[in-house]
């Protein structure tokens, strides 16, 4: 420590002595000396009060948007871009440039930092130590040894990284080559399906053409019969008039009788053809007439990945992309079954997963075979939504509660997805219950906790929707919140609140008394950037979705940080603006709504990635997730304005 102090003092004295020698007037020296570091100015900046300081000195003492001048104590505001935006003092810079000192290694009489003897020394440019001429070589050897050691370590690590990157490049090249086979397979299957559809089209059109030809022939025959009948009718009318006008039988009457007998025979024949034969009526029916066109899917390709560490001090994440096998005969029969023209096969879509070993098999996830049930669309009616957000489940009432935020109401459904009731913002008695509900939670005592977005309050209701109490209040104090966005309760009914505006987690007891708070704006472990959602887990643990930092953080109930999961990205175990969380106490699995990537991820008890939750129609803005009986899952999608039950 003494050596470093001597070095700084010697360097300062050297600089001042050099300036003194360059200037005949001693009055100039205070003008070019920084009042903070007492050395010659380096990048002099001028404050609004006209006092000058080194740029590095100002950066060191500036910790807030407002600060005070070290000389006159005048208050000044730091620009948004930092202290570097202050005006540069060009006069001082010109003085320093026109009268610069020339000695780069000042000669001083002091003790050497190595041998501790008085001698003429110089300052080391690397460590700023005072070194004599005799020890300079030894000091340089130590410096060279240290730098070479670090360079060697970096070289070894770089060689490992290069080897691994070469392997990665090779794998990606193989995947690109295999992708060509995948493209050919997809085209083959789609063309095969198109051929089948064209064959069906040809068959149906041929049937219609045969029916049309038959109808044309029948139409021609019926027109001929119609003309014959019209002719007989005309003969009958005219013959009756003639017979009534005659007084005795003559040749014309005999001819009428003969024609009558012929027409009677023809009429009997036509009567059998007209009354006995029924006119056919044809209609066309399609097997898939009830299938929505936007729900058609031939399958999907799943890319699995693993995290593989390199055996060195530097850890790398390795992505393994598994490719489709060139020999597609192993699964072609299964895929053809999904494209069969029979009605049974047309209703079954085969989901394929690309897995290791260059072979295909059905995915292990049960969700792949489930057809999601869609509830609602954008609108204001009872079964419609406008930005559905938080979900809650009442085990006692067997009801699902949905925050229909922009419709300013709560909507309830049964566990079978059947609509039950709407709770409006204004009660029947005219009492205002809430204004834009944003988050909802139901504790073990069946009490309903509601975060009111517009009023920025947390309200507790009983099951008759009577207000019990308020939790906390808006403000900047430690026991107050700025923008509450989610909450949960533990077994002791302690309340944990995500304060997105204050970047903190607040803890209250059952009566609403403040207990503690932790967090703050930042990217370190235990810090947040707009924490969005929170849920409890086994072992008195909490999971928090750190929305702005694209990660999940796990804490104990006292706010101690345990671990962080993920970072920003699109791969598995990576997030883009995570939102809703839920925890399965039976399987100890954590479900996360990855809003930015439009997907839902599921983690094991050790927080290793297991699989994605699949839906045949995909997700559009998953906000919250709720676990139902028999492994069913309900998801609210705020961008699609709907619910999905999978």
What pLDDT, on the 0 to 100 scale, is given for residue 168?
92
Least trusted range by pLDDT, from 145-154, 331-340, 563-572 = 331-340
Assess contact for 115 and 132: CB atoms under 8 A.
yes
CA angle 25, 26, 28 (to 5 degrees): 80
**Residues recorded for the chain:** 646
Cα gap 455→600, rounded to integer Å: 31
**What share of the chain has pLDDT > 70, as a percent?**
76
What is the pLDDT confidence band of residue 361, given thresholds at 50, 70 and 90?
very low
Provide mean pLDDT across the span 119-140. Answer: 72
What is the pLDDT confidence band of residue 493, given thresholds at 50, 70 and 90?
very high
What is the pLDDT confidence band of residue 241, given thresholds at 50, 70 and 90?
confident
Provide mean pLDDT across the span 604-623. Answer: 87
Assess contact for 470 and 460: CB atoms under 8 A.
yes
Task: Select the more confidently predicted residue: 81 or 369.
Answer: 81
What is the pLDDT confidence band of residue 263, given thresholds at 50, 70 and 90?
confident
pLDDT surpasses 70 at 15: no
User: The tokens of 7 are what?
Assistant: 């070095």
Cα gap 440→458, rounded to integer Å: 10
CA-nearest of 625, 631, 553, 546 to 593 is 625
What pLDDT, on the 0 to 100 scale, is given for residue 299?
54
Q: List, for residues 293-334, the tens digit of each pLDDT value.
A: 444 445 555 444 444 433 333 333 333 333 333 333 343 333
What is the pLDDT confidence band of residue 29, given thresholds at 50, 70 and 90?
confident
User: Taking all residues of the chain, what is their mean pLDDT, rounded to a whole number?
Assistant: 78
Cα gap 115→53, rounded to integer Å: 37
Cα gap 493→444, rounded to integer Å: 8
Q: 0.75 cut: is pTM over it?
A: no
DSSP 8-state secondary structure symbol assigned to residue 614 = P
Q: How far is CA 363 from the centre of its chain?
A: 23
Burial of 182 (0-12, 13-18, 19+ CB in 10 A): middle
Residue ranges of alpha helices (H) inside 277-382 are 329-338, 343-346
DSSP 8-state secondary structure symbol assigned to residue 332 = H
Q: Which residues contact 46 (CB under 8 A, 6 or more apart)?
A: 52, 86, 87, 88, 89
Strand order of the sheet with strand 467-471? 437-442, 448-452, 457-461, 467-471
Assess contact for 12 and 117: CB atoms under 8 A.
no
Provide mean pLDDT across the span 353-357. Answer: 32
What is the pLDDT confidence band of residue 26, given thresholds at 50, 70 and 90?
low
Task: Select the more confidently predicted residue: 265 or 317.
Answer: 265
What is the pLDDT confidence band of residue 222, given thresholds at 50, 70 and 90?
confident
Sign of CA dihedral 564, 569, 571, 577: positive
Q: List, for residues 268-302, the tens digit of each pLDDT value.
A: 766 666 665 556 665 555 544 444 444 444 555 54
For residue 497, the SS3 value is strand
User: The tokens of 196 are what?
Assistant: 């089948």
């Amino acid at each position: 420590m003494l050596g470093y102090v001597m070095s700084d003092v010697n360097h300062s004295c050297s600089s001042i002595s050099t300036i003194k020698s360059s200037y005949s007037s001693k009055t100039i020296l205070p003008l070019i000396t920084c009042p903070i570091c007492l050395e010659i100015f380096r990048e002099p900046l001028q404050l609004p009060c006209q006092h000058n300081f080194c740029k590095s000195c100002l950066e060191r003492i500036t910790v807030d948007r407002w600060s005070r001048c070290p000389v006159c104590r005048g208050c000044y505001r730091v620009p948004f871009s930092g202290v570097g935006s202050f005006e540069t003092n060009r006069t001082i810079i010109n003085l320093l440039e026109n009268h610069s000192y020339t000695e780069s290694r000042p000669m001083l009489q002091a003790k050497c930092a190595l041998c501790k003897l008085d001698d003429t020394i110089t300052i080391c440019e690397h460590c700023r130590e005072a070194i004599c001429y005799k020890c300079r070589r030894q000091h340089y050897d130590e410096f060279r040894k240290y730098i070479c050691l670090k360079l060697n370590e970096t070289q070894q690590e770089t060689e490992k990284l290069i080897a691994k990157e070469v392997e990665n490049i090779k794998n990606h090249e193989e995947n690109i080559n295999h992708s060509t086979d995948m493209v050919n397979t997809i085209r083959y299957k789609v063309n095969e399906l198109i051929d089948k559809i064209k064959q069906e089209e040809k068959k149906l059109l041929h049937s219609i053409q045969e029916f049309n030809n038959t109808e044309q022939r029948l139409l021609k025959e019926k027109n001929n019969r119609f003309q014959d009948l019209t002719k007989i009718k005309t003969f009958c009318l005219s013959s009756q008039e003639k017979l009534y006008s005659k007084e005795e039988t003559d040749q014309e009457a005999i001819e009428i009788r003969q024609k009558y007998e012929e027409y009677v025979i023809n009429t009997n024949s036509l009567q059998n053809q007209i009354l006995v034969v029924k006119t056919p009526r044809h209609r066309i029916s399609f097997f898939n007439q009830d299938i929505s066109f936007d729900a058609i899917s031939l399958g999907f390709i799943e890319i699995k990945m693993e995290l593989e560490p390199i055996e060195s001090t530097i850890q790398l994440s390795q992505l393994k992309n598994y490719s489709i096998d060139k020999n597609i005969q192993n699964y072609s029969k299964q895929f053809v079954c999904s494209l069969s023209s029979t009605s049974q096969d047309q209703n079954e879509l085969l989901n394929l997963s690309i897995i290791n070993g260059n072979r295909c098999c059905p995915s292990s996830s049960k969700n792949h075979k489930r057809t999601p049930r869609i509830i609602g669309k954008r609108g204001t009616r009872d079964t419609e939504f406008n930005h559905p957000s938080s979900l809650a489940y009442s085990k006692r009432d067997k009801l699902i509660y949905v925050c229909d935020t922009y419709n300013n109401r709560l909507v309830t459904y049964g566990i079978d997805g059947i609509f039950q009731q709407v709770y409006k913002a204004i009660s029947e008695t005219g009492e205002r219950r809430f204004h834009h509900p944003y988050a909802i939670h139901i504790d073990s005592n069946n009490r309903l906790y509601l975060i009111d977005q517009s009023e920025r309050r947390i309200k507790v209701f009983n099951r008759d929707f009577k207000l019990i109490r308020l939790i906390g209040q808006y403000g900047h104090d430690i026991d107050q919140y700025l923008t509450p966005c989610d909450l949960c309760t533990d077994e002791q009914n302690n309340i944990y609140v995500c304060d997105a505006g204050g970047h903190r987690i607040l803890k209250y007891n059952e009566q609403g008394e403040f207990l503690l708070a932790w967090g703050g704006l930042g990217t370190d472990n235990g810090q947040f950037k707009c924490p969005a959602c929170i849920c409890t887990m086994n072992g008195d643990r909490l999971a928090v979705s750190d929305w702005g930092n694209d990660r999940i953080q796990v804490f104990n109930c006292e706010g101690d940080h345990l671990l962080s999961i993920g970072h920003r990205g699109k791969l598995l175990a990576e997030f883009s603006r995570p939102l809703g969380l839920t925890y399965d106490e039976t399987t100890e699995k954590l479900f996360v709504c990855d809003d930015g990537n439009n997907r839902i991820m599921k983690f094991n008890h050790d927080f290793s990635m297991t699989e994605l939750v699949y839906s045949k129609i995909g997700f559009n803005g998953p906000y919250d997730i709720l676990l139902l009986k028999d492994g069913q899952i309900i998801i609210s999608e705020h961008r699609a304005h709907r619910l999905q039950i999978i």
